[in-house]
Structure 1
Amino acid sequence: MKKTITVLITCFIISSFSTQLSFKDAQLKYPRVKQAYKDKSKCISKLLKSHNISNAEIYIRAFKLEEKIEVWAKEKTDVTYKLITSYPFCFSSGGLGPKRQQGDYQIPEGFYVIDRFNPESNFHLSLGINYPNASDKIKSNHHRLGGDIFIHGSCFSVGCIPITDDWIEELYILSVEAKNAGQTSIPVHIFPFYLNEDNYEKHIKDTSISGNHSKFWTNLKEGYAYFETNRTVPTIEVSEEGHYIFK
């Protein structure tokens, strides 16, 4: 009898392991993701192959003034990233400056990661970011900071970044592929504008644009410059005052 129970338990464990789905397989059970792969997988494969990448890790950065998302990628075993594609915003709400409360219509600014994949989004497909992050929580004076910030499809939003159904399918697949290959954290860095020296000096002097954000943007510029110099994503910590620290 004990032998029979042991055999049954062993069979159940083996069966459980054999039926576990990969992240990609689980996503492909959703009709929109399945159709996106059908329509876009060949062009995504071609895109990665053109950059000699077969096992990708990705990094996403967005620029509010220029209304652009950049996608950088690297081979999993490599150190530095390459720019592989970019997507325009389809719509933008709010103005320059960070998001500090619910209902301010602002797209956040800062250093985030993708924390959710939504294959049944009201906006076709969507990738959630972890706003509010530790810095946002410290720097905001409001009790209700808001949340549910996504990069998604469609062409309308309040505080999110819509890039049309067509483009979100590509970005969603790239993100699924990266996570499925073992990337545990996909960084999403959102900047007010390109923070190179000339652009920074131009906008920081224009008080109608910079307002009271100059110190915050100077802090963001450190993270921007780190990647521009090294083509690697810095390790980011947050001080007790809410400032970003880059290592």
Structure 2
Amino acid sequence: MKRSMLPVALAAIVLTSGSAAFAASCSPKVPDTELIKPGTLTMSTNPTLPPLQFVDSSGDLKGMRIEMGTEIAKRLCLDPEYIRIEFSAMIPGLQGRRWDMINTGIFFTEERAKIMQMVPYEEQAISISVAPDSSVKIASKDDLAGKTLGVEIGGFEENKARQLDKELQGAGKAGVTVRTFDNFTLAFQALRAGQVDGVVTIDAVAKEYDTRGDFKRVLSGLYPASVAVAFQSPKLADAVASVMNDMKADGSMKALFDKYGLNVPAAAYAVKGPGR
């Protein structure tokens, strides 16, 4: 079974780092009062987006965002802990203090920044993927008129798929039918089974699948926007932003992004959220 097709459990799964405890070698830079578990940075992720976050054939979490989160925890002298959960539960879980940090590539929006602290750190855009043997010619958004598109429920991608539907109908064309799934693994499984015409996901993921030959990327660069990590605690958000700026200054952020074909934004990382 390919790593991208590994099933994702609907219930939360806690995964801790396999390395030695970071907190044992230095003093935590965030007080326990700002954490749900003393000495631990608890992060939520939905690992269905290779190469940024996924589960490999051994069941281990891998990807750019996992590496970044682990390094952030290390520099804060905290132990990294990941809770694997569907995207739709991310914001309610953060508000309910089930985790300290959303580390799943959540897109930044002004509406989200009204209810939580966000640190934009990565630029992404939307792609459309089709089956590898598809003969349908899709060269522009107009060519999606009348198609059925699969997408993970509750995220930026679903919002943009519905925006695309409105744009097409506003231009007098047939819209798109949007089918939502609990996660992107299920959306791509539906595409493989011929249940949808395409899947709406982010550029990095669609490129990865295209490179592997799993699915063909036909459109990319749609609706560009910033991706962020998110928090309830302002103090924790400030501490993470400071660490991320240190990583940018010493070149480790660029090295990580280069490894995955991403660009580091020129501006300093800054927290945006209530009271900012």
- Do the structures match in fold with TM over 0.5? no
Q: Which structure has the highest helix share of the two?
A: 1
Q: Structure 1 length normalisation: TM-score?
A: 0.29
* Greater relative contact order, per chain length (Cα 8 Å cut-off, separation 6+): 2
- Flag the structure with larger Rg: 1
Q: What TM-score results when the alignment is normalised by the length of structure 2?
A: 0.27
